[in-house]
Every structure is written in C-alpha cells, then in structure tokens.
C-alpha cells in the first residue's frame, strides 16, 4: 500500500516533449493516469489536440503547447504553459526526437544538425528552463514547503552502444546520458533528480530501421508481440515503457539520480556508466612500440563490444 501511495502523482505537473504520439503519448497518458497534470507538446496541433482530448476524456488534466523543441524560446514556452495552466512544474521529460539516418559518408550537415538540435540541444534548453522554474518554486516554498523536482531525459540503446547509420542520433543520445550524470551532481543540492530513460519500443521511429517494419506493423494491428521479441530484444509497446517515467516522477524514486535505466517489453535494466576496464602502467610513460608490445596480452586482450546485438548483423 505504501508503494502504491508513492506512485500517486496528484498535484504534480509535468511537461513531456514530443508527446503527441508514440512513446511520448504513452508517457503523458501514464502520468495523467497517476494523477499528474501534463503539458502535451508536438509540432502538429491536431495530433497534440487529440492527445489532450484522450487524456481529459479519461478524467485526466492536460493542455497542449505546439512548438518544435530546440531553442531556448521554445523551452520557456513549455515551462510557461505549465505554470500558466497548472500553477507550477514538477517534472520535465525531454522525449522529442527525429531521425535522419544515413551512413557517415552520405550524411549531410543538415541531417546532422537537425537531429542534434532536436535531441541534444532540445534536452539542454528544456532542462535549463525547467530547473530555473524548479529552483524558483523551491525558494518560494519556504520551510516545510514542497521542494525538489524531476528531470527525466530520454537516451537510447544507440547512444549506449552505437548503431549503423545513426551517427547523428547515437551522438545525441550518448550526450543526453552524459547530461543526466552531470546534472545529477549539479542539482543534488536542490533535491532535483536527473535520470535518463533508455526506452526500447516498437514505434514509427523503430519501423524505419531495416527489418523492423513488419514487426512494428504487426504490433500496431494488435497482434501479440512474440516472447522472443519482448524478452530477447526487450521490445514491446510504447505503453510498456511508460511505467518507468511514472516511477522516476514519484516519491519512490526520490533517491534515484544520475542513472540510465532501460525498459522495453518484459525487460527492465540498469545501464553501466563508462569506466576503465583494463589498465597498465609503465614508469616514465609509454612509447608507441611499448604500447604495441603489451597490447595483445594486457589492455587490449579483451576489447569492448559495440552495436545493438539484434541489429548489428544487418
């Protein structure tokens, strides 16, 4: 019963960027079902309106802010909408994203910049705007008032492992995970947590990956997702991922910060942080020849793997 009470988000307010459809919509709907008021964000006004209507018809509270994330002005609009409509902000989830997949030699500057602008810069600007509001609320709360807050950024398996044809996306998502670790240190004094979700769901974005289209199409038709996919690949529906955001927004996660946490299908995972896995020392430093001499039997005896296992063979 105590855990159930901790998941009650009544009185809390969240912004979820890119929440008109897909995983973002699932995030917003799950928050609303837990009692949280939500600002829905999308670049398509009709899509945003449909999501707001679905949430309010189910008894939840939601408003829309139609703007493309990336700029500081867009971030300020999103936070301002939350305060205008619901009086405060408690959770910022930076979910908005796009794909412009191409191999390195075919990727244009525009392909790279567009993805970095939405994913990485959009995460930075939205989190910055949110933290300014959260700190203001903390100052106004006074002794015994409600303080703290939640920054939940969205990374990806590609950002942790790399993925063929996703130079821009993998770089952005790796940077986003690093932001969560950095912000966890900076925001601890304000009782604001910062964590990265590593979602794995059958969405339109996943459907654009070669070989994944038929799987996504079958799931959208309501066909059961095979156990091999739900467990082996850790892939399920967008709704399978959403409970992780509810948990991180709740009082149960007040001491969880600086983490990258994966959820998809039936698989919940904690991702490791980058760290040294093998070291060697030589008095006076190293020459290139000395590195080559010790490499096979020392530092380089077991190299790290890379790529997403179920996609790396394509």
Active site residues: 156, 169, 173
How many angstroms separate the CA atoms of 237 and 224, rounded? 10
Quick one: which of 240, 151, 229, 164 has its CA closest to 199? Answer: 240
Taking each helix axis from N to C end, the angle separating 72-86 and 122-141, rounded to the nearest 10 degrees, works out to 40
Residue 293 has, within 13 A of its CA and on its CB side, a CA count of 6
Burial category of 33 from C-beta neighbours within 10 Å (exposed 0-12, middle 13-18, buried 19 and up)? middle
How many angstroms separate the CA atoms of 60 and 89, rounded? 16
CA dihedral 265, 90, 179, 245 (to 10 degrees): 0
DSSP state of 61: -
């Amino acid at each position: 019963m105590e855990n159930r009470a901790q998941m009650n988000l009544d009185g809390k307010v969240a912004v979820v960027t890119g929440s008109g459809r897909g995983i973002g919509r699932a995030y917003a709907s799950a928050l609303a079902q837990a009692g949280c008021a939500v600002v829905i964000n999308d670049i398509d006004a009709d899509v945003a309106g449909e999501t707001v209507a679905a949430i309010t018809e189910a008894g939840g509270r939601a408003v829309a802010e139609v703007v493309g994330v990336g700029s500081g002005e867009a971030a300020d609009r999103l936070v301002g909408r939350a305060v205008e409509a619901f009086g405060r902000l408690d959770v910022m989830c930076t979910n908005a994203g796009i794909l412009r997949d191409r191999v390195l030699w075919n990727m244009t500057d525009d392909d790279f910049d567009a993805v970095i602008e939405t994913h990485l810069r959009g995460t930075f600007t939205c989190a910055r705007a949110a933290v300014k509001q959260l700190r203001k609320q903390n100052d106004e709360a006074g002794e015994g008032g409600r303080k703290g807050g939640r920054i939940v950024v969205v990374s990806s398996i590609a950002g942790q492992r790399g993925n063929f044809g996703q130079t821009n996306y993998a770089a952005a998502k790796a940077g986003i995970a690093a932001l969560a670790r950095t912000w966890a240190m900076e925001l601890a004094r304000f009782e604001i947590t910062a964590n990265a979700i590593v979602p794995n769901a059958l969405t339109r974005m996943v459907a654009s990956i070669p070989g994944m289209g038929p799987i996504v199409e079958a799931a959208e038709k309501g066909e059961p997702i095979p156990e091999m996919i739900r467990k082996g690949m850790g892939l399920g529906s967008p709704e399978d991922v959403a409970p992780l955001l509810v948990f991180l927004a709740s009082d149960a996660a007040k001491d969880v910060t600086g983490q990258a946490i994966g959820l998809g299908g039936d698989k919940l995972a904690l991702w490791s942080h980058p760290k040294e896995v093998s070291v060697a020392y030589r008095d006076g430093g190293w020459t290139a020849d000395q590195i080559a001499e010790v490499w096979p039997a020392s530092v380089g005896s077991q190299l790290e793997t890379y790529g997403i296992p179920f996609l790396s063979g394509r």
